[in-house]
A and B are shown apart, each in its own frame.
Chain A
Amino acid sequence: MKIHRLTGLLAVLCLLVSAFAMAACGDDEEEGGGTQTSGEQQAAIESNPDNQGTTITVGSKNFTEQKVLGEVFAQGLEAAGFTVEKQLNLGDEKTAFAALRGGEIDAYPEYTGTALLSFFGVRADRIPKDPQEAFEQVRTNMEERNVTALPPTPFTSSNEVGVTRETAQQNDLQTISDLSQVDQEFTLYGSPECRQRTDCLLGLQQVYDLDFQRFRPVDIALRHEVLTKGQADASIVFTTDPQIKREGFVLLEDDKNMFPPYNSTLLVRNQIAQGETGQNMQDVVEQVQEGLTAEVMQELNARVDLDKKTPEQVAGEYLRESGLVR
């Protein structure tokens, strides 16, 4: 009995050890990251000794793009001499906003559309389609809450209804309206908060009058997996998701213009934004996000989601490759 137990244990250990050994000998599949060919160098962020006394806690919500943005701002601010702490992975927008207002964090990136919908109760179809207008509305609303909304990022992202190419072909789907033929048999997957967002399930029900057979809330990280593994007929994805191209998903056209545009704006507590070093901070943020076009954002997301680098690594790469940090 005694011997048996020990042998069993040893067997398990050996198995695991050999697995690691195999791992070590395995051929290196990792592709060499983009070799950086530098064109005109952007001005690098300069460290300002005045900033050293200010500690900024940067937060983010719980999905890739947010974590990357959080890291980009955190590392950029650090390069400018600020003392930076990070709390990336705060959950959904309500958790993050509560953390911001409670002073647990000092700043986090939020999408203009999401802010209007979730914090100010604006209906999805009433959100300005013009990004700048949407941002202005966020900015004024935020002022009342002692939060400064910094100018938005160049990239625009949005919620999308994604289906596999096969599903689209079989059911002749091109627009979201086309779903009305099949909604009774379709299972829609989305993040849990989708249930109560008018730019998500509620909107699809109210604006498009869709009645899905069922809606399944699932962790936001699984939004593509449920399509590739065949559990979902349709899933809510983001425009800047790199998996869409890779897996050949079809994004249904939002023919009733329901999904509002989303540009990311860094929300900052007034204590920080209007503090002594507030202007320095705002300058750094604008400098850092200038290069964040849709293509670049998608690339950065891809490096995390597809190449499996950490958001921290990818943000560092972005800052170095764009010459902001040397």
Chain B
Amino acid sequence: MTALLGQVQLRDRSTGEASCVADNGFCPSWIADNFDRYVDPLLQHVFLTVVSLAIGFGISFGLALLAHRRRWLVGPITQVTGILYTLPSIAVFFLLLPLTGRGNTTALIALVAYTLLIIFRNVMAGLDGVPTEAKDAGRGMGLTRRQLLWRVELPLAVPEILAGLRIAATTTVGLATLAFFAGAGGLGEQIFADITFKSNVVTAGGLAVLLAAALDALILLAQRAVTPWARARA
């Protein structure tokens, strides 16, 4: 039953006929047809995650090297990054708003803040876990402190460091779903665009989970590639 009004065709929708889409159902064919609307949010999400991981890694790695030389810094750094890690991300987005405004900057600052504790702790644990014998051997070969760090300690700490990066990656993907509160888009915005439509929620949420899994797998593969000796040990 259709009626013409002006030139826009009207469909009678009072029949309530079953329709997966209109019933807000989970409709594979709809998802297949409309997948393109998830591409941009996904890319924004990847951007937010990767950039904050990169910055977060840079900062915490630097802090860890510093604390490795000056042990007394470990406590304060752990405490400060621990507090940052505890702050709920939505709260942080809005606490930053008066200072940095809406947009990517605010989202990135908050997301970076979360990665610090995880990566810092794991870099420290990795460095602390280097066997004394290995360090002694290095010193015996006449390595300077700097050489010892870069040639012996850090390579041996790689598995633990990358394990930290994996945790940080999955956590960041999850937190980035809230970045739309800071006006930075991402998959969260898409989830929220139609929170009652199962197809939408499952697709956007599923993509976030997939992204987390993919990053996790990628870092794991990288870890295997750069630490062939670990494979022999396992």
Contacts and interface: CB of A to CB of B under 8 A. Distances in A.
B21 A296 contact: no
B32 A246 contact: no
A222 B193 CA distance: 11
Interface residues of A, number: 53
A222 B196 contact: yes
Nearest to A40: B7
B109 interface: no
Classify chain B's interface size: 35 or more
A65 to B, nearest CB: 15
Count chain B CB atoms within 10 A of each CB in A29, A222, A307, A310 and give the residue with the most.
A29
B195 A296 contact: no
B16 A39 contact: no
Contacts, number: 125
Interface string B79-104: 00000000000000000000000000
A326 interface: no
Contacts of B197: 308
B77 interface: no
B180 to A, nearest CB: 10
Interface in A211-228: 219, 221-222, 224-225
Interface in A269-326: 291, 293, 295-296, 299-300, 302, 306-308, 310, 317-318, 321-323
B5 A19 contact: no
Contacts of B216: 9
A130 interface: no
Contacts of A41: 7
Contacts of B8: 34, 291, 296, 299-300, 317-318, 321-322
B27 interface: yes
B144 interface: no
Contacts of B132: none
Contacts of B234: 1-2
Contacts of B22: 246, 306-307
Nearest to B14: A245
Contacts of B217: 9, 13
A247 interface: yes
B29 A30 contact: yes
Nearest to B196: A225
A206 interface: no
Contact of B6 (A12, A20, A24, A291): A291
A27 interface: yes
A3 to B, nearest CB: 9
A284 B10 CA distance: 24
A22 interface: yes
Contacts of A308: 21, 30, 34, 194, 197, 199-200
Contacts of B2: 34
A222 B195 contact: yes
Given A23-B31, A310-B37, 15 more contacts: A9-B216, A16-B210, A20-B31, A23-B32, A27-B29, A36-B9, A39-B4, A42-B7, A219-B195, A221-B195, A245-B14, A248-B16, A296-B8, A299-B9, A307-B21
Interface of A: 1-2, 5-6, 9, 12-13, 16, 19-20, 22-24, 26-31, 34-39, 41-42, 219, 221-222, 224-225, 242, 245-248, 291, 293, 295-296, 299-300, 302, 306-308, 310, 317-318, 321-323
12 contacts: A26-B27, A30-B33, A31-B19, A34-B8, A36-B7, A37-B4, A219-B195, A225-B24, A296-B6, A308-B21, A308-B34, A308-B199
6 nearest CB pairs, A to B:
A34-B9, A23-B28, A26-B28, A245-B14, A306-B22, A26-B29
